[in-house]
Amino acid sequence: MLIRLAFLSLKSRALTVGLTVFAIALSVALLLGVEKVRTGAKASFSDTISDTDLIVGARSGSVQLLLYSVFRIGSATNSVSWESFGEIANSPGVTWAVPLSLGDSHRQFRVLGTTSEYFDRYKYRSGRSLEFADGRSFDDLFDAVVGSDVAAELGYSVGDPIVVAHGIASFTEHEDTPFRISGILAKTGTPVDRTVIVSLEAIEAIHVDWQSGAQRPGTPTSPDQLRAMDLEPTAITAAMLGVDSRLQLFTLQRAINDYDKEPLLAIVPGLALQELWDTVGIAETALVGVSAMVVVTALLGMAAMLLSGLSARRREMAILRAVGARPTTIMGFLIIEALLMASAAAALGVGLLYLLLVVLQPILDANYGLFVPITGLDRGEILTLIAVVLAAGGVSLIPAVRAYRMSLSDGMIVKL
């Protein structure tokens, strides 16, 4: 009976109650949305590379190696000799090895030197392979494959010429050895989208006439002469490895870390990613905290709405007292109102969340590489909704206690 009366009372104040419920619903959608995006971002970040067992580079930090080899952030402290890479690639248990050479750029996009096997071995988002939206892999020495973001932002198509700059953010370009775009990769939502990929031999070719970061004076070597040369690299930046058995993974990692010919570091991408997320965990907590404060603010707004309306509702309270309601019943009446409002807001917030996910999921995936899966509410999210409703009952104690005191001070005590 009391729940029905509370519902009818809320219905009589539909506009004010509706705005309050909508405000709480928005805050609930924000809180759950931040958690969905945070989880999706973490999953997308983790899915940037998959099915690669080890990444090998010069000895530094595991996060640093992961950032520059996979995410193209920062630079290597040193290189890995070609001889060392060959020994590691031929080690027992290693099924494949793809070398990576970084250091040059093209209009602020990183240039990656590698082999054609990279297009087969690089996997993302739980085993998805790279696909070509147009064109093919490089066949000629001066062929280049560009990521989807490179092509979109610079307006490139297959067959267009590009010139690689020496170093990162450099104004010195390899103008005498231009490349031709042979292929454009489909969108992946990974750093590959913002990468220009060429062959390892091409990286060596464009630096034949360079020494100590500057081009040597004299007539440059022609492209035809470069094609006829032996362009085996002397060093690479890093390498991706696959092993035939996970049981050998840590044994191989330990052997590479103890390599005696030069200081090397082998990392397991998943473990390095976890270390990275532990580093940025404070920012995650802060973001969730801000969202929770928005919910608290909305609930306090609901309490303020109930409190400010008490004076106008004295007649309503008087009628309830006249029909035998006790002061504690009046108090419970307001708490039930708050619980009904919070429950409706929680349901509306969930509805708004999934509506936004349906609309924004393809946009976020296509433009930012952030894939937010549309899944049901997990246990933590359900507990969050329950906590919001219970918190609404808690803050409603403020107007409820006020109503209790008003009913006593007004002398509305029915003698039986």
| SS3 annotation, 54-116 | EEEEECCCHHHHHHHHHCCCCCCCCCEEHHHHHHHHCCCCEEEEEEEEEEEEECCEEEEEECC
287 within a domain of the structure (yes/no): yes
Question: What pLDDT is attached to residue 1?
Answer: 59
The answer to whether residue 15 scores a pLDDT higher than 90 is: no
Q: Which residues are CB-contacts of 136 (< 8 A; sequence separation ≥ 6)?
A: 182, 183
- Summarize the confidence of residues 307-325 as an average pLDDT: 64
Same domain? 95 vs 158: yes
Tens of pLDDT, residue by residue over 197-237, are 999 999 999 988 877 666 777 778 888 888 889 899 999 99
Question: What pLDDT is attached to residue 412?
Answer: 44
Question: What pLDDT is attached to residue 376?
Answer: 83
Buried b / exposed e over 236-274, threshold 16 CB at 10 Å, is bbbbbbbbeeeebbeebbebbeebeeeebbbbbbeebbe
Same domain? 25 vs 124: no
293 within a domain of the structure (yes/no): yes
The answer to whether residue 171 scores a pLDDT higher than 70 is: no
The rounded radius of gyration (Å) of the Cα atoms in the chain is 32
Inter-residue contact 325 to 72 (CB < 8 Å): no
Same domain? 237 vs 197: yes
The one-letter amino acid at 382: I
pLDDT bracket for residue 415 (50, 70, 90): very low
- List the structure tokens of 13: 């104040």
385 within a domain of the structure (yes/no): yes
Buried b / exposed e over 318-346, threshold 16 CB at 10 Å, is eebbeeebebeebbbbbbbbbbbbbbbbb
Same domain? 39 vs 63: no
Range of the domain at 404: 2-45+282-409
- Backbone phi, then psi, for 127, in 5-degree steps? 100, 5
Same domain? 312 vs 165: no
The answer to whether residue 278 scores a pLDDT higher than 80 is: no
Number of domains present in the structure of the chain: 2
Same domain? 241 vs 115: yes
Tens of pLDDT, residue by residue over 372-391, are 778 888 888 899 899 999 99
272 within a domain of the structure (yes/no): no
Same domain? 30 vs 97: no
119 within a domain of the structure (yes/no): yes
The answer to whether residue 409 scores a pLDDT higher than 60 is: no
- Backbone phi, then psi, for 333, in 5-degree steps? -60, -45
